[in-house]
Amino acid sequence: MSTYRSPFDRLRAKFDEAELECRQCGFHDESGGWQVTSSGDRVQYRFVCPSCDAVETREMRL
């Protein structure tokens, strides 16, 4: 694992380690992860539950 990852990659890794349980149905996704998109002044982290399709988002403004 590279020590030169961006702060956004490190935050996504933190979400992947700790926040893979759906708040809607309680399903714990062992193989999933958060998707990351950016649009200039915002970075959005998104998790879609494979069981119930609920969407969880976290957004950072730059």
pTM of the model: 0.72
Residue environment code for 21-45, b if the CB has 16+ CB neighbours within 10 A, otherwise e: ebeeeebebeeeebeeeeeeeebeb
Position 16 scores a pLDDT of 80
Strand partners, 37: 44
- Rounded distance, CA 28 to CA 37, Å? 23
Q: Is the pLDDT of residue 2 over 60?
A: no
- Rounded distance, CA 28 to CA 39, Å? 29
Q: What digits encode the pLDDT tens for the residues 5-59?
A: 788 888 888 888 777 889 999 999 888 888 888 888 999 999 999 999 999 999 9
